[in-house]
Amino acid sequence: MSLLVQPAYSNSVRTSLEPFFHEGDALFPLKAVSTSLHFSRNQTIFNEGDVARYSYKLLEGGVRLCKIRPDGRRQIAEFVLPGDVFGFALDEEYSLTAEALGDVIVLRWPRGQVERLAEELPALRKELMAMLCRELSAAQEHLVMLGRQTAKERVASFLLLIANRRDAGNGDPLLLPMGRQDIADYLGLTIETVCRALTDLKRERLIEIPDRHHVELRNLAALEDVAEGGE
Amino acid sequence: MSLLVQPAYSNSVRTSLEPFFHEGDALFPLKAVSTSLHFSRNQTIFNEGDVARYSYKLLEGGVRLCKIRPDGRRQIAEFVLPGDVFGFALDEEYSLTAEALGDVIVLRWPRGQVERLAEELPALRKELMAMLCRELSAAQEHLVMLGRQTAKERVASFLLLIANRRDAGNGDPLLLPMGRQDIADYLGLTIETVCRALTDLKRERLIEIPDRHHVELRNLAALEDVAEGGE
DNA sequence: CGCCCTATTGAGATTCATCAACTGCGGTGG
DNA sequence: CCACCGCAGTTGATGAATCTCAATAGGGCG
């Protein structure tokens, strides 16, 4: 019998600041059964509905986890950054599609290994639970963004969100491994609306945009105001 | 040490079709340490940020789990129906506010009891994992609704969602324990838009609305078409 | 140098929110 | 028993936010 049961889903959670497994990491025991793989831009790592044979940890690059509807509408549930674990399916099938944002290196291990190890290792179980919880908590915040924030608020929140995932925001420009369309699909907006919001923020001197994959947050407090709907 | 760690959050998952704990239910061991409580309409069961001392199972009525922003904007993350477990916080604090939709009876047990029991009972651990997964999966679907569906599609999806949670939809009218404003706050819409969408669906003979807390789904296939964006 | 892809900007259309009036039901009290 | 009140829901008219469609700009690569 397996610890990992019932419903399908995928997730991604930062387990440590270092992309690779280290001694002391609750997932370290998986290192022995892991192999690394490369994917390039827009390549599919797994599809929603695929049999979930593996779980993954992102070492380099960025990944989007999304749902794609029959008519092509796409909703990105989450961006995976280096160090995050994803494709953490607990059912037979992945509940999200994973695609590479650019060049990507992942570590991958058979799902069954986790189930087996978790039986023996309480620390691993705890870490799994903790990852699920962080996942869920993030999804709840995401719901608020999509349901109750304006376009500009969402874009500001998004920038702050990415900034907070990077280890303790310093002053230098934030790396955005995803394109504008990806941001739009994460925020439930169109690419044009995302652009306009970014342009607005730039005009108001809250951010700088040295190039399309970098944003410098020049006024965190003001950005937070915008994100919270402060006029 | 506890199995339940790190991040705050609350959830609600149907564990069985019967509201109460039964032998065979993985959560049955909790029955002995549970007490039952009553709440009435709009009463708060717990607040986001409260220290999470208890977890709950809903026996009767309905509960909303929501986030409320400083400016009053509200996003409902989930409706709790009889049989669902919620307030399942894994951190020190609840990450959502729980409020009664009407008269409510809940079963409640100290969170610590779950942690202790989970150490010993693999079946309970599995059930906890399974609940988290269902929770997360539901949140992902919810994200798609909010991010990529039109008002009418959302309302149709919502009705189908509630219908599917009730045990195997029969023909008779669906009970909606929540008010129109609650539906709006779940769907990221205004109350007026929800009304208009319902009226539309009624005009098109897809539903009947005998009274404000009941909806009869008269054409499931057509409703599903609407929900999926079929014109 | 030129092409392709992505991003940006602009103009007009559409959806949904806002504001306001009205309806219907349930409860209360004369 | 009936009139009134209050709240939740519905409907209507208008406006704002966002989407759509179209044109332009900019960067990277052959």
Tens-place pLDDT, residues A170-226: 667 899 999 999 999 999 999 999 999 999 999 999 999 999 999 999 999 999 999
- What lies within 8 Å, CB to CB, of B18 at 6+ separation is B83
Q: What tokens does A144 get?
A: 């608020």
Q: Which of A137, A160, A182 is the last residue of a domain?
A: A137
Phi (first) and psi of residue A100, to 5 degrees: -75, 135
Do A130 and A175 belong to one domain? no
Say if the Cβ atoms of B142 and A140 lie within 8 Å: no
CA–CA separation, A28 vs A21, rounded Å?
5
pLDDT recorded at residue A171: 64
What CATH code is carried by the domain that includes residue A63?
2.60.120.10
User: Cβ of residue A120 near strand D, that is under 7 Å?
Assistant: no
Do A174 and A68 belong to one domain? no
Q: Which of B103, B135, B167 is the last residue of a domain?
A: B135
Q: Which of A71, A137, A226 to mutate to test the interface with B (most CBs of B within 10 A)?
A: A137
Say if the Cβ atoms of A73 and B132 lie within 8 Å: no
Nearest-neighbour CA in chain A from B182: distance (Å): 13
* DSSP state letters, B101-119: SSSEEEEEEEHHHHHHHHH
Range of the structural domain that residue A126 is part of: 12-137
**Helices vs strands, H then E, count in chain A:** 6, 12
pLDDT(A6) > 60:
no
Do B97 and B167 belong to one domain? no
| Cα–Cα distances in angstroms (integers) from residue A146 to residues A53, A177, B100, B147, in the given order | 32, 21, 24, 6
Q: Which of B11, B137, B229 sits opposite A9 (nearest CB)?
A: B137
Element holding A64 (H helix, E strand):
strand A63-68
pLDDT-based confidence at residue A142 (cuts at 50, 70, 90): very high
Element holding A44 (H helix, E strand):
strand A44-46
B87 located within any domain: yes
Do A27 and A126 belong to one domain? yes
B144 located within any domain: no
B142 located within any domain: no
Say if the Cβ atoms of A69 and B228 lie within 8 Å: yes
Q: Say whether pTM exceeds 0.85.
A: yes
Do A31 and A112 belong to one domain? yes
Say if the Cβ atoms of B129 and A5 lie within 8 Å: yes
Do B160 and B222 belong to one domain? yes
Q: Whose CA is closest to A127, among A76, A166, A88?
A: A88
* Cβ–Cβ < 8 Å for A119, A3: yes
Q: Which of A67, A139, A229 sits opposite B136 (nearest CB)?
A: A139
State percent of chain A over pLDDT 70: 89
For B175 and D25, how far is CA from C1' in angstroms? 55
pLDDT recorded at residue A8: 36
Lookup: nucleotide whose C1' is closest to B209 CA: D9
Phi-psi region for residue A168, left (φ > 0), alpha (ψ -120 to 50) or beta? left
Do B97 and B186 belong to one domain? no
Do B206 and B131 belong to one domain? no
**Residue ranges in chain B whose pLDDT is less than 70:** 1-19, 167-171, 231
Instruction: Find, in chain B, the residue whose alpha carbon is nearest to that of A128.
Output: B129
B143 located within any domain: no
Packing angle of the helix pair B122-148, B151-165 (nearest 10 deg): 160
Say if the Cβ atoms of B133 and A9 lie within 8 Å: yes
Do A40 and A97 belong to one domain? yes
Q: Which of B81, B109, B135 is the last residue of a domain?
A: B135
B16 located within any domain: yes
B1 located within any domain: no
User: Cβ of residue A60 near strand C, that is under 7 Å?
Assistant: no
- How many domains, chain A? 2
What CATH code is carried by the domain that includes residue B218?
1.10.10.10
State percent of chain A over pLDDT 90: 69
Residues 132-191 of B with CB under 7 A from strand D: 179-181, 191
* Cβ–Cβ < 8 Å for A167, B167: no
Do B161 and B51 belong to one domain? no
B200 located within any domain: yes
Residues 195-224 of A with CB under 7 A from strand C: 195-196, 198-199, 209, 212
User: Cβ of residue B151 near strand C, that is under 7 Å?
Assistant: yes
B207 located within any domain: yes
Collapsing DSSP to helix, strand or coil, B199 comes out as: helix
CA–CA separation, A173 vs A158, rounded Å?
15
pLDDT(A14) > 70:
no
Do A22 and A106 belong to one domain? yes
Do A69 and A114 belong to one domain? yes
DSSP A173: P
pLDDT(A74) > 90:
yes
pLDDT recorded at residue A73: 97
